[in-house]
A and B are shown apart, each in its own frame.
Chain A
């Protein structure tokens, strides 16, 4: 059964819990020892919460209203940036080493052993959803947490902005 992460932007309050959970999930040491100091590499999240670019004066979310986060989202609305596991993934098309493949479940998977750090996928992804691990000369991207029932970001999101649905449950794109 194919399941996908769905992001409801209007529910995101920019708390960045998903970023912490993702970084922790993809850091072997943190998963086992629960100590941020234990890992020599800085843990890298595969998801990023960024503010949209709009006029803060027009942005209702930033006015301190009861029950709202006062998180420092500088302008605009909080927006989770993550891999969408596209139907026609441009990153896979551009990957000249075969490190990126779309598997039978429809997940765009990355094999770090094949990756040579040419950044062709970064050149091709229109969503800017791929990060560089410059130190190891490979990319990092969402892998939909294959070792978990529910992806870490979904589990961490307490506002219902990031949810995990079966493909047939996913509403149509757009308004």
Chain B
């Protein structure tokens, strides 16, 4: 069985986890050969910038999150526009869709996730889109047209960023949300209300507790029929109802999967020399200790870096992922980190908050036995990272609740309290 190519490291996926993996490997091993495989032809572009691309704020160049000469500089062989279709874990090689066989010493699977398209009538009509890839963004950008109407299904981060972008292109935007609130994954009810108001004041229409039941039109999208019975004429429909990990390739190779690919603290799968990271990986959760998929950018980069370092022979453990998201909607910043919506039945959580409505300031902390496990900041977000740091330190903040809720919280105020990881005498920069 001759192989066409042999690399020390093979990475499937060219986004946050894949690039994090390259950087993790190169921290330890400057010379080992690396191949990075992606079915997309694009250089290292940022999925988080796709909505900015639609809005016209970033172009084909600015959408890249690493420089043009990145692959050369890191001594990586990019194999772009080819899809990995099979892994042979016992023989240590993979096969691409053109039949090319590529051997590896260790493999990192960073296949990401795909948007979920609900099974409703008309979901395949021209004018129905998802927003995940550069290609998706390009198609939406082409279809966007000032004065026309867009319906976005889903009130999460992707949906709202898409809404913001299409609004910037002069479209009338309706967001249809199943839940009673927007951003139900990361934001509590009160924070979601503030954001909703901000969106509505800027002309975005939002319907909560509503579903799209049918996408109507003869040859293309002309309207949607809502669960309220209302028929809403429109020109574009975007599915932004969440993503599902792309586990098929791993599963078929006999790698252990559940919702995502199961990995240990070293980001290793059940196969010794195969790792997984990013939106496809089900790794340790920082707060619960259980395995969970946190499909967000910083976690993907960090997991990729950890996988890469371990592939190169280091011994680095993952502390666990934390839910975190930052979004700026019409100039109102909001950041949610950790466990922000504990369910009543979980019990044992203390919630404290402070809001200054006329300043659009809102901060909320979630504590369990005095330990801070979640934080929301809206408006003045400068101190949000300090709260993230305290969550990661598992800091007991029960004595400092009022301090942490203050609008002008800064790092100096938490120094010397024994809750932040800090050298008291000196810091280097």
B170 at the binding interface (Cβ < 8 Å): no
Complex contacts, A82 vs chain B, CB 8 Å? 429
B388 at the binding interface (Cβ < 8 Å): yes
With A118-B327, A123-B384, A174-B425 known as contacts, the answer to whether A81 contacts B392 (CB < 8 A) is: no
User: What is the number of contacts between chain A and chain B, taking CB atoms within 8 Å?
Assistant: 166
> Is A93 in contact with B425, judged by CB distance below 8 angstroms?
no
Q: How far is the CA of A174 from the CA of B427 in the complex (A)?
A: 9
Within 8 A of A (CB), among B364-421: 381-386, 388-390, 392, 403, 409-417, 420-421
Within 8 A of B (CB), among A117-157: 117-132, 134, 137, 142, 144
> Is B46 in contact with A98, judged by CB distance below 8 angstroms?
yes
> Is A123 in contact with B425, judged by CB distance below 8 angstroms?
no
> Is B385 in contact with A123, judged by CB distance below 8 angstroms?
yes
Of B98-106, B233-241, B296-304, B339-347, the one touching chain A: B296-304
Q: In the complex, how many residues of chain A place their beta carbon closer than 8 angstroms to a beta carbon of chain B?
A: 55
1/0 contact string of B264-295 vs chain A (CB within 8 Å): 00000000000000000000000000000000
Partner of B335, one of A90, A98, A119: A119
B230 at the binding interface (Cβ < 8 Å): no
Give the Cβ gap from A94 to chain B, nearest Cβ, in Å. Answer: 4
> Is B424 in contact with A9, judged by CB distance below 8 angstroms?
yes
Q: How far is the CA of A116 from the CA of B65 in the complex (A)?
A: 12
A5 at the binding interface (Cβ < 8 Å): yes
Q: Which of B16, B331, B382, B414 has the most CB of A within 10 A?
A: B382
Complex contacts, A124 vs chain B, CB 8 Å? 298, 324, 385, 388
Of A25-33, A36-44, A50-58, A61-69, the one touching chain B: A50-58
> Is A96 in contact with B424, judged by CB distance below 8 angstroms?
no
Complex contacts, A54 vs chain B, CB 8 Å? 416
> Is B410 in contact with A93, judged by CB distance below 8 angstroms?
no
| Closest chain B residue, CB of each to CB of A7 | B427
Q: How far is the CA of A49 from the CA of B428 in the complex (A)?
A: 16
With A50-B411, A128-B382, A142-B429 known as contacts, the answer to whether A123 contacts B331 (CB < 8 A) is: no
Partner of B383, one of A6, A76, A90, A128: A128
Partner of A97, one of B49, B328, B425: B49
B58 at the binding interface (Cβ < 8 Å): yes
A175 at the binding interface (Cβ < 8 Å): yes
With A54-B416, A123-B337 known as contacts, the answer to whether A132 contacts B382 (CB < 8 A) is: yes
| Closest chain B residue, CB of each to CB of A131 | B382
With A6-B426, A9-B425, A116-B57 known as contacts, the answer to whether A79 contacts B412 (CB < 8 A) is: yes
B192 at the binding interface (Cβ < 8 Å): no
A22 at the binding interface (Cβ < 8 Å): no
> Is B417 in contact with A175, judged by CB distance below 8 angstroms?
no
Q: Which of B58, B385, B403 has the most CB of A within 10 A?
A: B385
Interface residues on B, range: 35 or more
> Is B326 in contact with A118, judged by CB distance below 8 angstroms?
yes
A13 at the binding interface (Cβ < 8 Å): no
1/0 contact string of B48-86 vs chain A (CB within 8 Å): 110010000110001011110000000000000000000
Q: How far is the CA of A125 from the CA of B427 in the complex (A)?
A: 15
Give the Cβ gap from B389 to chain A, nearest Cβ, in Å. Answer: 3
> Is B388 in contact with A171, judged by CB distance below 8 angstroms?
no
A114 at the binding interface (Cβ < 8 Å): yes
B423 at the binding interface (Cβ < 8 Å): yes
> Is B328 in contact with A119, judged by CB distance below 8 angstroms?
yes
B305 at the binding interface (Cβ < 8 Å): yes
| Closest chain A residue, CB of each to CB of B392 | A126
Complex contacts, B46 vs chain A, CB 8 Å? 96-98
> Is B425 in contact with A119, judged by CB distance below 8 angstroms?
no
B95 at the binding interface (Cβ < 8 Å): no
> Is A94 in contact with B298, judged by CB distance below 8 angstroms?
yes
Partner of B429, one of A8, A83, A123: A83
Given contacts A9-B426, A128-B411, 20 further A-B contacts (CB under 8 A): A5-B428, A8-B425, A9-B425, A50-B411, A50-B413, A53-B413, A79-B411, A85-B429, A93-B301, A98-B44, A118-B48, A122-B335, A123-B325, A123-B381, A124-B324, A124-B385, A126-B420, A126-B421, A128-B382, A132-B381
Q: Which residues of B contact A (CB under 8 A)?
A: 16, 20, 44, 46, 48-49, 52, 57-58, 62, 64-67, 297-298, 301-302, 305, 324-328, 331, 333, 335, 337, 381-386, 388-390, 392, 403, 409-417, 420-421, 423-429
The 10 closest A-B pairs by CB, nearest first: A126-B389, A98-B65, A50-B412, A79-B412, A96-B48, A53-B413, A125-B385, A94-B298, A173-B423, A128-B411
Q: Which residues of A contact B (CB under 8 A)?
A: 4-10, 48, 50-54, 76, 79, 81-85, 90, 93-98, 113-114, 116-132, 134, 137, 142, 144, 170-171, 173-175
A-B contact pairs, 30 of them (CB 8 A): A5-B429, A8-B425, A9-B424, A50-B412, A51-B413, A81-B411, A84-B427, A84-B428, A84-B429, A93-B298, A93-B305, A94-B301, A96-B46, A97-B49, A98-B46, A118-B48, A120-B297, A120-B326, A122-B326, A122-B382, A122-B385, A124-B385, A125-B385, A126-B385, A126-B392, A128-B382, A128-B383, A128-B409, A132-B333, A174-B424
